[in-house]
Amino acid sequence: MAMKEEDIMNDAKAGEGITECCEGNLSRRRFIQGSMILATSSLIFPGLAMAKARTDKRLVVVILRGGMDGLAAVVPFGDKSYAALRGDLALSPDSVRRISEMFGLHPVFENMHDMYQKGELSVVHATATPYRQRSHFDAQNVLELGSKAPNDFKDGWMNRLVRAIDNRDNKLALAIGQTKPLILRGDSPSGSWAPSALPDTGDDFMELVARVYQNDPAMKRNFNDALMIQDQTSHMMEGENDKKLARQSRSGQGFVTMAGIAGKWLSEPDGPRLATLELGGWDTHAQQGTEGGRLANNLSLLDKGMGALKESMGAAWDKTVVIAMTEFGRTAKPNGDRGTDHGTAGAVFLAGGMVKGGRVICEWPGLKEGDLYQGRDLNPTIDLRSITKGVLNDLYGLSPSTLNSDIYPGSETARSMTGLLRI
Amino acid sequence: MTKDAYIAANRFGLGASASEMKIIDRAPKDWLRKQVSQSTLSSELSNISSGLKSTVDIITASGDLRNLDNDAKKKLVKQSRDIYLQEMQNRVTNAVVTDAPFVERLALFWSNHFTVSIRGKPFLTSIAGSYEREAIRPHIFGKFSDMLLAVVQHPSMLTYLDNKSSVGPTSKLGQRRDKGLNENLAREILELHTLGVNGGYTQDDVISLAKIITGWTIKPPKMPGEAGFWYFSRMHEPGAHRLLGKSYSEKGQKQGIEALTDLAHHPSTARFIATKLVRHFVSDDPPAQAVKAIERVFIQSGGDLKAVSLALIELPQIWQRPLTKFKTPYEFVISSLRLFDAGNNDVDLDKIIKSLTLLDHAPYTALSPAGWDDSEDAWLSPNALMNRVEWCHAVAQSVAYPGNPLELAQNTIGPVANADTLLWISRAPSGRDGVGLLLASPAFQRR
């Protein structure tokens, strides 16, 4: 394919503004740099002229993938049917961290128990999305879209939230992780970040790449977002060993590392205000354990991650809400393998200085045979969207009608909960 | 160089070097058809130095896991890790050097369709590679029902989705001990392997299928006979079970074989598989006409995957619009090595395995039984793209210098690259940067 002479001429013109002051012969390399800086800077920092004051509220959504067993995380030991129903998987009332006559947190929840006692953590129990089948993938789709049914919308609910808060602020939302979860995907800007173990690439090369991506809208947008995030985070990452972080982030304790980094960035004045974290490993079909074991290890990871997040956020914790949620709960009865199968209702955690905590919020459905959903699962009594709507209403002043039209269309029946946060 | 050659090499294959592109260019469709008709299992894949090639060998050598002291455990973990690394290295080497990259793409597709993952299942580390070689690859051009049966009877799948410990509640073992059903595998067979989530099954069907395949387990080391799959009648839930409106009478293991064979031939399965294939080879939004065409072949041939694979070659939609798919990291890394015509000895396998891990696509590490997502949305994020760009730059600095980058680009991605890409490759401050830019370019990142 022949090169087009007019492209080269256009580039020459684009570079004029910067290069005219330089003397003598311009090397080709200098020329490219000059034109590139001009061409890409306006693309990389479209938000420079942003006038609106940024919100100082922080919202972190932790997606627990695989279906967390809510009855193991927040144990209803006070329900008379609990011990018999759970059989081998029942935790003794003495082993749990009691928070009321009815409920206890799992014994590994050290940090979260501390938050609860300080009034910074609430549990909403017996809650579920409107999805009533048992596919992980459809259930996560509904959780992240904020929809009634799978694939109802193209974009995730946090992406729509970005649009409602400030669509021009491309530093507003950041996914901490290797990929961007569905909850953040859509037309509004958001970034994604994970520590990189690859050597740094010089600016020259980056500028060439930006050039080559000009005609590929999706790659152009993601690349510009990535450059913007690098620019934004470079001073925060000073003194950190990227390679070491990259290794840690992929280890068994990776969630704790990532949560710590998330907190650090969220605490920065020009850092993100919305962030997502993800933790998998909840699909405990076999040998899930009780006080210890596979599920306890994962719950401990969640607890340590929450602790790391709080610690690294410092004073910004007071302006923060963390929502930790999963796609569905698990069967109330153990299956034949000392595990649990895909169920319906489960527990959601709300944490952070903004949370009016120290409470278990629920309309407890009971655990008697007849109380269970389809005779097998904890019965959902609260629509999960009622919780997130309540948080968004309190945190951003988004009215119920705005929430119904812009963030969760078709959610009128899931009334916004009130009084979840301190405002 | 024609667009058709690019499409054959990239949309069906795993990329090609400039010299291979010339060969493909002579007759792109014939080049693909020949791969289907002459397919043999590659010898690269079973080159295992420990001699433990089959799942049966590996499980036998592991012995009784319950009676291991700490030293023995450590030794076993290391041995498993070694086998895993070697399996990955063989798989990568084969993908880089194979003359039949379309076959390799199909292997990747089916292996992903029937995902097993070592995440959270350390026992699988040593037998994830052999699973792919034994349950997937032999059936790529065979019957879908045979692949399904091989998968569901493989120790790796029985472990990954917990069926090995699922006990019929009224079976002999179920009555004697406090043991019961584990519905994990049954659900994923219906949802992910055959009918699809909207394929028309209910929770009752999940439970029925779970009962039907109780007793499909792995032979305990204490029992006599060969290690591996074992049908244990004392675990099997007795009686007839109703699945999708049809009653399957008690026939022991045969009950499950009949049920799975019916599922493999179900119209919903044909639709589901056709949709996934078209999404993989054509675009994230599979065109309805293409899906219908593949679905028809699947049904008419009774799930003959050779006929289905040949039908893919004839789909006009694949040949019309290239660059609709964003390569997975695995496809991207392999195609980079193929671009440089890397031979058996040129590939630093350690580095490649590390690269795949860095780009989050190491073999057999999918996050869920649904496998890796097959859409641009899942792979193209700011962070993932930046990782790729950095990788392109690093690799371009380290490869044997491949000559004039513009020429290389013209002879490989030339027919589909836009003018900007070629212009800036030609202007890159160094040949290596030019090569890096070629790798990072949309025409190379996509297919």
Q: Is the CB of A339 inside 8 Å of chain B's CB atoms?
A: yes
Give how far B298 is from chain A: nearest CA, Å: 25
Euclidean distance between CA atoms B303 and B301, whole angstroms:
5
Report pLDDT for A200.
Answer: 79
Asked if B441's CB is within 8 angstroms of A212's CB, the reply is yes
Residue B194 DSSP one-character state: S
Q: Show pLDDT as tens, one digit a residue, over chain A (423 residues).
A: 333 333 333 333 333 322 223 333 333 233 333 334 334 443 444 444 444 578 999 999 999 999 999 999 999 999 999 999 999 999 999 999 999 999 999 999 999 999 999 999 999 999 999 999 999 999 999 999 999 999 999 999 999 999 999 988 888 999 998 889 999 999 999 999 988 888 878 888 999 999 999 999 999 999 998 988 888 777 777 777 778 888 888 888 999 999 999 999 999 988 999 999 999 999 999 999 999 999 999 999 999 999 999 999 999 999 999 999 999 999 999 998 999 999 999 999 999 999 999 999 999 999 999 999 999 999 999 999 999 999 999 999 999 999 999 999 999 999 999 999 998
Report pLDDT for B402.
Answer: 64
Q: Is the sign of the CA dihedral B298, B302, B303, B309 positive or negative?
A: negative
Write down the ipTM of this complex: 0.94
Euclidean distance between CA atoms A325 and A63, whole angstroms:
5
Domains of chain A: 56-197+241-407 (3.40.720.10)
Chain A segment 41-100 residues within 8 A of B by beta carbon are 65-66, 87-88
Asked if B191's CB is within 8 angstroms of A135's CB, the reply is yes
Host H or E run for residue B243: strand B241-243
Token reading at B59:
């499980």
Q: Is the CB of A234 inside 8 Å of chain B's CB atoms?
A: no
Asked if B206's CB is within 8 angstroms of A198's CB, the reply is no
Residue of A nearest to B235 (CA): A336
- Report strand pairing: A274-279 vs A173-176: parallel
Q: Which residue's structure tokens are 């639709």?
A: B271
Written as one letter, the residue type at B339 is L
Question: What are the Cα distances from residue B302, in Å, to B103, B213, B235?
Answer: 21, 23, 32
- Selected residue of B3, B176, B381, B408 to mutate for chain A interface (largest A Cβ count, 10 A): B381
Asked if B169's CB is within 8 angstroms of A180's CB, the reply is no
Euclidean distance between CA atoms B394 and A147, whole angstroms:
42
Residue of A nearest to B170 (CA): A336
Report pLDDT for A18.
Answer: 28
Euclidean distance between CA atoms B414 and B408, whole angstroms:
9
- Report strand pairing: B229-231 vs B216-218: antiparallel
Report pLDDT for B346.
Answer: 66
Report pLDDT for B345.
Answer: 63
Q: How are strands ordered across the β-sheet holding A74-75?
A: A74-75, A104-105, A97-98
Written as one letter, the residue type at A416 is S
Report pLDDT for A21.
Answer: 30
- Give me the residue from A8, A87, A335 closest to B181, CB to CB: A335
Report pLDDT for B301.
Answer: 98
Q: Is the CB of A223 inside 8 Å of chain B's CB atoms?
A: yes
What is the rounded (10 degree) CA torsion for A157, A160, A164, A168?
A: 130
Residue segments in chain B with a per-residue pLDDT below the cut of 70? 46, 343-347, 401-402
**Residue A393 contacts residue A401 (beta carbons within 8 Å):** no
Residues of chain A with Cβ-Cβ distance to B187 below 8 Å are 134-135, 341-342
Residue of B nearest to A376 (CA): B203
